[in-house]
């Protein structure tokens, strides 16, 4: 199926709002306005501050954020762009940039070598397709291993020594389950996007890969080992894995009912308000790992084609995500974001809150969300593969070969 047609099909009824919208869009361009679909519940005060600063330096220009809920914001940007009435800029998941680019809905946002070098390794890869950058990263998350020290102690494990390898992780989970009756590990396998994300953390802690350019590479020894590890740890995990997504697993950990989970910085923030005796460490490594790894998830600012203010929107997007504004945005309390660039301020941040170190260390050998022309297609294939293994329906080898074949249509 033509991807452009698939994006456009079914949305014209919502998008065709008549000449009023077209006139409004034209007026916006004439007024030198950058319209911005901003995901969330409210405009962040730090972004608000820097919008005013940029406007002060760019006479006659106005940035107009429209705050749209997380569940609707990307669909709204897509609908407007496909209907020919695009906003200037939108907050999108970087996983969708390839699809937008191939449908000629966004413009490139090339980075200089200096700009690329300012980021931690591989972060620019999350917005790169065919050696071109198609967005500017605006939010970044990683994962680490959290463990319950009291459950370790009850199971006869050293509470200060987390597992460093998959083999240890599986063995520790087994010992916790057998000695305490409590799940040793929290494996989420619900029909939900983060089931795919959680599996990708295992792929990237074993030097695995899903796609290389337009070549599907998921059927490899490295990814097969990850899927086998999923099968091996399932008996010692939270019962009924397909009923849980990662935030629900995190809630069980916060209640003291699971020994280990992989989670982001948000777990540390919430654990501070509990009586759980916990630790955090880099994700355990598979047998083919080169070093500490994690899935690198970014959201980006994409600049849409046809707004009439593309060049100025790119300029603003780079400004609002530059080291000063971006660093301030990331380091505010409770933001839950991993810093995207190394700096003296980040060093101070880590010194103040040491739990950040494993979340940053995993970047070195981490990998981006795989880019597909139909990202949801990739996501659904991965979820089906994981679910078929953890429920015992399919052996890992067969599940992986089926996934590899199914992914060909989405590359």
DSSP notation for 81-147? HHTT---SEEEEEGGGHHHHHHTT-B------HHHHHTSPTTTGGGGEETTEE-SEEEEEE--EEEE
Q: What is the CATH number of the domain that holds 356?
A: 3.40.190.10
More confident: 8 or 72: 72
More confident: 15 or 305: 305
**How many independent structural domains does the chain possess?**
2
User: Is residue 194 situated within a structural domain?
Assistant: yes
Per-residue pLDDT at 21 exceeds 70: no
Instruction: Provide the CA 383 distance to its chain's centre, in angstroms.
Output: 16
pLDDT in tens, 350-394: 898 888 999 999 999 999 999 999 999 999 999 999 999 999 999
Which pLDDT band, with edges at 50, 70 and 90, does 333 fall under?
low
User: Is residue 135 situated within a structural domain?
Assistant: yes
54 shares its domain with 178:
no
Average pLDDT, the chain: 91
Alpha carbon distance 329, 166 (integer Å)? 35
Nearest alpha carbon to residue 21 among 84, 91, 96:
84
Per-residue pLDDT at 24 exceeds 60: no
Bridge pairing between strands 278-281 and 183-185 = unpaired
281 shares its domain with 318:
no
99 shares its domain with 73:
yes
User: Is residue 178 situated within a structural domain?
Assistant: yes
How many C-beta neighbours within 10 Å does residue 307 have? 23
Alpha carbon distance 18, 112 (integer Å)? 41
Query: pTM of the full predicted structure?
Result: 0.88
User: Is residue 365 situated within a structural domain?
Assistant: no
Expressed as residue numbers, the domain containing 305 is: 3-141+297-360
- For residue 399 the two structure tokens come to 């599940």
114 shares its domain with 126:
yes
User: Is residue 309 situated within a structural domain?
Assistant: yes
Alpha carbon distance 260, 370 (integer Å)? 26
Contact between 203 and 367 under an 8 Å Cβ cutoff? The reply is yes
156 shares its domain with 238:
yes
15 shares its domain with 120:
yes
Per-residue pLDDT at 55 exceeds 80: yes
pLDDT in tens, 231-241: 999 999 999 99
Q: Position of tokens 């409770």?
A: 334
User: Is residue 366 situated within a structural domain?
Assistant: no
Which pLDDT band, with edges at 50, 70 and 90, does 8 fall under?
very low
Contact between 386 and 169 under an 8 Å Cβ cutoff? The reply is no
């Amino acid at each position: 199926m033509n991807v452009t047609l698939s994006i456009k099909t079914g949305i014209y009824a919502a998008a065709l709002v008549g000449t009023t919208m077209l006139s409004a869009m034209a007026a916006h361009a004439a007024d030198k306005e950058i319209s911005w679909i901003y995901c969330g519940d409210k405009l962040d005060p730090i972004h608000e501050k820097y919008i005013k600063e940029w406007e002060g330096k760019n006479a006659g220009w106005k940035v107009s954020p429209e705050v749209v809920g997380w569940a609707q914001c990307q669909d709204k940007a897509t609908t407007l762009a496909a209907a020919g009435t695009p906003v200037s800029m939108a907050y999108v998941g970087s996983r969708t940039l390839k699809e937008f680019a191939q449908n000629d809905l966004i413009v490139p946002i090339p980075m200089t070598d200096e700009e690329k070098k300012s980021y931690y390794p591989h972060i620019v890869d999350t917005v790169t397709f065919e050696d071109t950058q198609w967005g500017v990263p605006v939010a970044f998350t990683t994962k680490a291993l959290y463990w319950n020290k009291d459950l370790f102690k009850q199971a006869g494990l050293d509470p200060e020594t987390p597992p460093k390898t998959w083999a240890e992780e599986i063995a520790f989970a087994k010992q916790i389950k057998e000695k305490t009756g409590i799940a040793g590990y929290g494996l989420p396998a619900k029909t939900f996007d983060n089931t795919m994300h959680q599996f990708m953390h295992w792929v990237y802690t074993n030097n695995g890969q899903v796609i290389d350019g337009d070549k599907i590479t998921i059927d490899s020894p490295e990814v097969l080992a990850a899927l086998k590890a999923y099968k091996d740890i399932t008996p010692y995990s939270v019962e009924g894995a397909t009923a849980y997504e990662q935030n629900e697993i995190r809630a069980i950990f916060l209640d003291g009912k699971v020994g280990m989970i992989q989670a982001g910085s948000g777990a540390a923030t919430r654990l501070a308000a509990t009586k759980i005796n916990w630790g955090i460490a880099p994700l355990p490594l598979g047998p083919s790992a080169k070093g500490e790894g994690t899935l690198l998830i970014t959201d980006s600012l994409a600049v849409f084609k046809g707004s009439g203010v593309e060049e100025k929107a790119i300029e603003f997007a780079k400004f609002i995500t530059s080291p000063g504004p971006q660093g301030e945005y990331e380091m505010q309390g409770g933001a839950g974001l991993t810093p995207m660039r190394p700096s003296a301020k980040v060093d101070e941040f880590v010194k103040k809150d040491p739990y950040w170190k494993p979340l940053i260390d995993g970047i070195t050998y981490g990998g981006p969300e795989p880019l597909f022309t139909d990202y949801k297609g990739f996501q659904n294939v991965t979820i089906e593969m994981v679910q078929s293994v953890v429920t015992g329906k399919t052996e890992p080898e067969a599940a992986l070969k089926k996934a590899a074949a199914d992914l060909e249509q989405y590359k």
